[in-house]
Amino acid sequence: MWLIQKPGRWGWHAGGEIDVFIREFDLQKLNNWKTAFQTGKPFQSALLVNGSENLVGEELLILDDGSAITPGFSSEQKEIIIKSIQEVADEGKLSPAGFIENNLGEVFYQYIGTKPTLIVVGGVHIAVHLVKLAEILGFDVIVIDPRRLFGTGERFPGVKQVINEWPGAAFQKLHVNQSTAIVMLTHDPKIDDPALGIALASPAFYIGALGSKKTHQKRIERLSASGIDNDRLSIIHAPVGLDLGGKLPEEIALAIIAEIVKVRNSTRI
């Protein structure tokens, strides 16, 4: 194995080759990333790794609202980078990370997602298994149930939060973003319907509700009568979960988390 140097990069040889880009990451760059993470939303990083010598190592952070942190780039250069990323995205070729060529040179692009959160409304038996699976997959989990018998720390050890309040009050304490999945499991309209109304007004990437097709149709009629648009109602995953043919609580939990992962992976870029 040996080390070779290229302009701006280092490469290791061991039956293959890998290039490593080395740059100074100063306090200003650290603060830029902190600002991006503090939005609580996914963002994109575009680092110039080859091109104009005075710009190599400069980075553009594109925030979820379309704004950008661009200390090293002019407005025109920012537009060139954003346009090149959008063109690749429009072609359906944008990966979570990769290289993009534009008039400035070669840009290393990364999609930076926030840690996913699962909000479970209803501390029922299915929820016990769902929470365990979600934690294995790296989700922060929050359980909401005004019924203290179901929503206890003993039933859900290790979750980020258990809130024994009705959905209207509980969701006021939470920050729901594009990395949030929300699942209604109580099968009780007094709890699930208000939670669905709040969820449908949020940017959550997944909203699911337990119940048969007949139960869900009645649910849709109630929510529609309350003034929720049919287009929004159509995004509810119900009956919740992938059809795995399972009937046991743990099998239903597996079907739910599988559907959440499927939706998350299809909407991440």
User: Is the distance from CB of 13 to CB of 34 less than 8 angstroms?
Assistant: no
Domain coordinates in residue numbering, the chain:
29-112, 117-267
Q: 32 — phi, psi (to 5°)?
A: -60, -45
Q: What is the pLDDT of residue 3?
A: 39
Q: What is the pLDDT of residue 121?
A: 98
The domain 117-267 belongs to what CATH superfamily?
Answer: NAD(P)-binding Rossmann-like Domain (3.40.50.720)
Order of all β-strands in the sheet with 17-21: 2-6, 9-13, 17-21
Q: What is the pLDDT of residue 1?
A: 32
Give 135-171 pLDDT, tens digit per residue: 999 999 999 999 989 989 899 998 999 999 999 999 9
Order of all β-strands in the sheet with 206-209: 161-163, 140-144, 117-121, 180-184, 206-209
* CA–CA gap between residue 84 and residue 267 (Å, rounded): 20
Q: What is the pLDDT of residue 221?
A: 96
Residue that the structure tokens 């109602």 belong to:
233
* CA–CA gap between residue 19 and residue 94 (Å, rounded): 21
Q: What is the pLDDT of residue 269?
A: 44
Residue 180: name the closest of 112, 114, 254, 233 by CA. Answer: 114
Q: What is the pLDDT of residue 23?
A: 83
Identity of the amino acid at 86 = Q
Residue 58: name the closest of 35, 43, 74 by CA. Answer: 74
* CA–CA gap between residue 60 and residue 46 (Å, rounded): 5
Mean pLDDT by 10 residues, the chain (269 residues): 42 65 87 87 88 88 87 89 87 79 91 88 96 96 95 91 96 89 96 96 94 95 94 95 95 98 78
Residue 102: name the closest of 141, 55, 64, 143 by CA. Answer: 55
| Terminal Cα-to-Cα distance of the chain (whole angstroms) | 36
Q: Where does residue 167 fall: left (phi above 0), alpha (psi -120 to 50 degrees), or beta otherwise?
A: alpha
Identity of the amino acid at 139 = F
Q: 208 — phi, psi (to 5°)?
A: -130, 155
CA dihedral 38, 39, 41, 47 (to 10 degrees): -70
Q: What is the pLDDT of residue 267?
A: 66
User: Is the distance from CB of 231 to CB of 221 less than 8 angstroms?
Assistant: no
Please compute Rg for the chain using Cα positions. Answer: 23
Q: What is the pLDDT of residue 30?
A: 92
